[in-house]
Structure 1
Amino acid sequence: MQLQNKNVQITLKAQGAEMTSWKVAETEYLWQGDPTYWGRQAPILFPIVGRLLDDQYVYEGNTYTMSQHGFARDAIFDIESSTETSVRFTLRDTPESRQHYPFPFVLNVSYQLVGEEVIVTYRVHNPGETVLPFSIGGHPAFNIPFKGGAFEDYTIDFGEVRTLDRYLLEGPYLTGAYQPLGDRQYIPLTRSLFDDDALIFENVEYAALRHQPSGTAIVMESPSFTHFGIWSPPHKDAPFVCLEPWFGHADYKGHRKDFLHKEGIQLLAPNETFEASYTLYIEK
């Protein structure tokens, strides 16, 4: 389905409640998917972000398995409501989901066009009688270059000078160590930047993929998210970069697999609702 206003058009699909196109003034900014590099485009990560140690977690003495980033990205969502400029998708637990994630839940993913902005909102409701543990996040990929030139003509701009400490990875897992990148406003895009996989930071509220010669940028504002990933496939000349707002991240190498004590996990009380949004727009 499509949402459209005067200048912005997005296309979405029920599988994964995933955005598959984002055009502003007829320019396509969203990665269109190519399995040579990465076949996905903008998956939703739920009820985990990243990889579990051995693809397992423990809850109340029982061990459950779940693949990287969870199952929502492959599930078929219902369209609960829609207008020309907004849509709300819904996913609920099923007998199959409870084999891997033994909790009742209602996940809403909403998209809304407001002027030049695309607002993406996640709502998680706990209809059960016990605490609902979950992580959630976005994984949209954006075309680089989008304004011509080379990959190296772009930067990751954080909007202000801030102290950047990068979580270090060993394979898909965090090591518990950090790489201090110092006080800076932006990081130049280079192919070697992703040799050790994703850049992961805490509390990034603004990130822009900026074309330095023109100043034009793809901007994501994500003020409420606890962690932020930036990724492009290592050792490939992939023409895209992902900006990823997260609650949570992959397991640490030495994690004991206790789901309730996983860093970044959200613990939602019965009958309560969690909500978080991020916003996309083009800055010129």
Structure 2
Amino acid sequence: MSHFAVSILKNGLHLMRPAAVGASSVVIIFSGMYPLFLDPAVPAAHALTTAMLLLVGCLLIHGLLTHALNDYTDYRSGTDDRSPAMLSGGSRVIQNGRMTPEAVGRFGFGLAAVLLASAILLIAFGQARLAVLLLIGIWGAVSYSAPPLRLAYIPFAGEWLSTFPSTFALGLGGAWLLLGGLPDWAVQNAWINAVYCIAWVMVHHIPDLEADRQASPVKRTSVVWAADRFGPAFARLPAVAYFALIGLSAIWLAWSGRWAGAAGILVAAALSVYWLAKVDVRDAAAVTACEKKMLLTAIVLAVWLGIFH
């Protein structure tokens, strides 16, 4: 393999941020697909093909497209240059000189155009459901970071109008494509995993609080909004609220007879709130350590919900 090819591969892996994608998108796919592999009415070959399509889609959209546009936008606003850059602060491909800002921007918008063209082709070939899932993913990535919407810079908009629809659709994708409908377990799993995802993203934003405040335009995330309105200690408030929402969702699963799933949700939500309540939000290293625990919890919870469906 040539040096140029190796460089492209390394830059792509840095840009993708595999740990974050694995702890969110990949396990969300598992949570929604594992029960379908066990369903005798679903041919194993169809389930495998669907899982691979979802995996490729999440790597392209949640891994490359989202991060490329986010890196480019946050570089231009200045927030990534001021970030403590542990798990936060983008992929650092720009700051470390691996790629120029212009190259990252061209790659991001070029990939968005290719994916949009692919969605149009899917519609033309009668694959409307795949096209819808692809369009939702593109919307999530582009609306989160790219002007003029740049919803990540608006309190509550980035997580609920961009991140949540994209991750929720990913969790539902397998059942929708293979069963033609949305069984309760699929909706429940997709909901829990998507809300947990936006909860740890809020924790992810805590170390960037001052960097986001100094950005131009100001990156007024839900974390910045909470800290400005109630004080620095309340930077954890959005994440705590989302973890509480996850805990309340255990009632839904218990009501439908999924007692093991409900128990797993309660444990995950309680541990996450406990860790977050103890952490010093002014200590970037401590918050990062807390976030790592939550990434592992996201993996365990998604697998747990997939197994105990």
Q: TM-score range by the shorter chain?
A: under 0.3
Greater strand fraction, Structure 1 or Structure 2: 1
Greater helix fraction, Structure 1 or Structure 2: 2
Per the normalisation by structure 1, the TM-score is 0.26
